[in-house]
Structure 1
Amino acid sequence: MNIKDLNVFITVAETKHLTNASKLLYMTPQGVSKIIKNLESECDCELFVRTGNGMELSECGKHFLEYAIKAKSEYHDMRNEILRIKQKERGVVDLLSAFGILRLVTPECIMDFRRKYPEIEFSYRECPDKQIERWFLAGEGNVAFSLAPCDEDVYEVLELESFEVKLLVNKKNPLSRKSSVTIEDLRYEPLYIESREFKIHDLIVNRCRDAGFEPKIVFETSGFSLCHKMVRENKGISVTVDFVSDDMGHDDLVLLPFSDGRYEWTICMLTRKNEVVGNGVDIFQKHVKDWMDRIREGNIKR
Structure 2
Amino acid sequence: MNIQDFFIFQTVAKEGSLSRAARILYMSPQGLSKLIKNMENELDCILIERSPQGVRLTESGECFLKHSFFLTDEYGDLKKDLLGIRQRSYGIVDLLSSYGILRLVTPDCIVAFQKAYPEIQFSYHEYPDLQTERLFLEKNGNVAFSIADFDETLYDITEMENFPICLLVHENHPLSHRASVCIDDLRGEPLYIESSQFKIHHLIVDKCRQAGFEPNIIFETSGFSLCHKMVKAGKGISVTVDFVFEDMKAQGLRLIPFSDGTYEWKICMLTRKGEAVSVAVSLFRNFVMDWMREIKLGHIAR
Q: Same fold (TM over 0.5)?
A: yes
Shift of 1:167: 0.3
User: Is residue 150 of structure 1 aligned with residue 143 of structure 2?
Assistant: no
1:81 is matched with: 82
Query: Does residue 255 of structure 2 align to residue 263 of structure 1?
Result: no
2-structure distance, mates of 1:61, 1:186: 54
Q: Does 1:203 align with 2:186?
A: no
SS of the equivalent of 1:188 reads coil
Percentage of identical aligned residues: 52
Q: What's the TM-score once normalised by structure 1's chain length?
A: 0.79
| Cα deviation 1:32-71 (Å, max 9, x = unaligned) | xx88x958x978879xxxxxxxxxxxx9789746643552
| In structure 1, C-alpha distance between the alignment counterparts of 2:193 and 2:271, rounded to whole Å | 29
User: For the Cα contact (< 8 Å) 1:227–1:238, is it kept in 2?
Assistant: yes
Look at both structures and tell me which one has the larger radius of gyration over its CA atoms. Answer: 2
What does the per-residue CA deviation read over 1:260-300, in whole Å, with 9 as the maximum and x for residues that have no partner? 00100001100001111111101100101110111111111
CA contact (8 A) 1:155 1:272 kept: yes
Change (3 A) 1:62 1:234: farther
The CA distance in 2 between the partners of 1:212 and 1:188, in whole Å, is: 12
Residue of structure 1 in register with 2:125 after alignment = 125
TM-fit CA distance, 1:76: 2.8
Gaps of 5+ in 1: 14-33, 47-58
Which structure 2 residues correspond to residues 52-131 of structure 1 after superposition, within 5 A? 64=65, 67-68=68-69, 70-88=71-89, 90-131=90-131
Offset at residue 2 of structure 1 (A): 6.3
Alignment of 1:289-300 (within 5 A): 289-300=289-300
- Kept after mapping to 2: 8 A contact 1:155/1:271: yes
Match for residue 135 of structure 1?
135
CA deviation vs aligned residue, 1:196-255 (integer Å, no higher than 9, x gap): 100000000000011111000000000100000000001000000000000111230000
Q: Could you tell me how far apart the structure 2 residues matched to 1:218 and 1:142 are?
A: 37
Aligned-partner residue type, residue 141 of structure 1: G
TM-score (norm: length of structure 2): 0.79
Counterpart Cα distance in 2 of 1:270 and 1:122: 16
Contact 2:93 2:123 (8 Å CA) reproduced: yes
Tell me which residue corresponds to 2:245. 245
Whether the 8 Å contact between 1:143 and 1:269 is mirrored in structure 2 is yes
| Count of equivalent residues | 263
Q: Which residue of 1 aligns with 2:53?
A: none
Q: Secondary structure at the match of 2:193?
A: strand
What's the secondary structure of 1:206's corresponding residue? helix
- For residues 211 and 112 of structure 2, the distance between their equivalents in structure 1, rounded to whole angstroms, comes to 46
- Partner-residue secondary structure (3-state), 2:236: coil
Q: Which runs of at least 4 in structure 1 moved beyond 3 Å after TM superposition? A: 41-46, 59-67
CA distance 1:84–1:190, shift in 2 (3 Å): same
Q: Is the 8 A contact 1:93 1:143 kept in 2?
A: yes
The 5 A counterparts of 1:42-53 are none
CA pair 62-119 structure 1, distance change in 2 beyond 3 A: same
Q: Which residue of 2 aligns with 1:19?
A: none
Instruction: Measure, in 2, the Cα distance between the counterparts of 1:215 and 1:45.
Output: 52
| Residues 196 and 61 of structure 1, relative CA distance in 2, 3 Å threshold | farther
In structure 1, C-alpha distance between the alignment counterparts of 2:74 and 2:260, rounded to whole Å: 45
Distance change (3 Å), C-alpha of 1:157 and 1:177:
same
Cα distance in 1, alignment partners of residues 170 and 217 from structure 2: 17
